[in-house]
Amino acid sequence: MKNITGQTKLLGVIGHPVEHSLSPAMHNAAIARLGLDYVYLPLPVHPEDLAEAVAGFAAIGLVGFNITIPHKQAILPFLSETSSVAQMVGAVNTVWRKDTGWYGTNTDVEGFIAPLKAIARDWSQITPVILGNGGAARAVIAGCAELGCSQIFVVGRNPEKLDRFKQSWQNTPLADRLRVFSWDELPGLVSQTGLLVNTTPVGMASQRDRAPIEANILRELPSGAIAYDLIYTPSPTLFLQQAQECGATIVDGSEMLVQQGAAALQMWLGQPVPVNEMRQALLAQLE
């Protein structure tokens, strides 16, 4: 058991709810391995209390914190500076204290592409197809661009939301790479892609018998393509099971969770962190 004293430096994750977060297990495992006097805490913050919470964090000298739903965009007005990637995504998941105030970035992008970098592909020749056009899709788009994909396709069910989503990228460097499609156009897109990404919540533990797209459409996926689900429980999801049966290489969201956390912890500590320790702690929580 860690001995927490008045000298222990504080880190944490804010969200509502935050009780289910797996981040404390991951980060505290890495901190223990490094032998540092830090502790990472789950910090429940109601949306209406965000301003007071951020002010309070500064007052008690919190070193930094992660952000989960529903605060990833709401946090922006309370930051003195944001990274270029956070500005592009329009959301922040990692914050730390500087002399001038709170600084924010988004390590979801780095987390998303980490497992893809380990798979040999010529990304300039791959046009990803992204299922869903919510907040998670934004980090995936930025990640695909960083990998070198010259075109990125996004598929959504609601035409108005899809149009607003496309418009939100107009003043970014990615505007020319991004195309949006309606759900009924999926069969033709799936048959041509080398990377199919699910950013929707369909298939989570509460609906594990569902998949975001029909099995007959998924069968159009070329053999050797990559199917990536941001969901990490259950693992694999029905979507990934079906994709694997079609000959796809599958990736679930657990490695993204590990890698985005490792990137954040490395920023706060200013030194390399034991990623494998974080991975093992996460997998133990998921068992």
Active-site residues: which are they? Answer: 72
By C-alpha distance, which of 113, 74, 110 is closest to 92? Answer: 74
What does the block give as tokens for 74?
A: 């709401």
By C-alpha distance, which of 263, 235, 251 is closest to 85? Answer: 263
What's the CA gap between 151 and 229, in Å, rounded?
20
By C-alpha distance, which of 84, 33, 83, 46 is closest to 269? Answer: 33
Contacting residues for 273 by C-beta, under 8 A, at least 6 apart? 30, 34, 262, 265, 266
